[in-house]
Amino acid sequence: MPHTLSRLTAQAIEALDCRDDRLRHLLQHVRTPASWHPSEREVHARRMAMYDLSQAVIRGDAPTVSGAHEGTAEGLIPWGQSKADPTRPQIKGMLGALDPLGMPLATAVLSGERAADGLSLPIMERRRSGWHTTGRLLVGDCPMRAWATRASLAPHQDMYVSPWPLTGATAAAREAWITEGGTQGNAGAGAQRVRTTDRGHKVLAAAG
């Protein structure tokens, strides 16, 4: 790597130049959205052109990372809702990646107290600026079902798939839906039905 960087930059690059403290100085210059977002788009556009990677399915995920840090309400690492360890402060990330390859297209590192609802919107907007077609399928967890997130897809003719949360009417009706689907599947594979959800959405489902 030092040899490659030396050739690319026409400078003498030593092993110590790649240490974490030097990287920190570099990130101070490129971490701003004005610098990072255009670079992000160019790098990924070249990768997808070179390897002919499909962009039909984009997966969004918001993992959390906990650590033995001193959490602060105003800092990057506060306490927030955590399934792993609620006693530790955390960082929340937001990732948009090619599915199923898993290659990141856009990432954001955020303070850990915020909810995942709405974090998909900025990532999708950043990726859209580099897309030249519509009709992509966006895959995500329950937070992607936020109204604002779904409404942003319609003007771009994009689609989404995400699970219903197992709360409220959905949890109560799930067993009946499974039974109904299994019965229709046994009656004839390939049959289709239209189901109205508890919020009035029409859902087309294939039995079997």
pLDDT at 197 over 70: no
- 89: cis peptide before it, omega within 30°? no
Q: Pick the closest to residue 83 from 109, 70, 69, 64 (CA basis).
A: 64
Closest CA to 174 of 146, 156, 198: 198
pTM: 0.55
Mind listing the pLDDT tens digit for each residue in 21-75?
777 777 777 778 888 888 877 877 777 666 667 778 888 888 887 777 777 777 7
Taking a C-beta distance cutoff of 8 angstroms, is the pair 190, 206 a contact?
yes
Q: What pLDDT digit, counting tens, does each position of 89-123 carry?
A: 888 888 888 888 888 888 888 777 777 777 888 87
As annotated, the residues of the chain forming the CATH 3.30.420 domain(s) are: 54-162
Average pLDDT, the chain: 76
CATH 3.30.420 given to domain 54-162:
yes
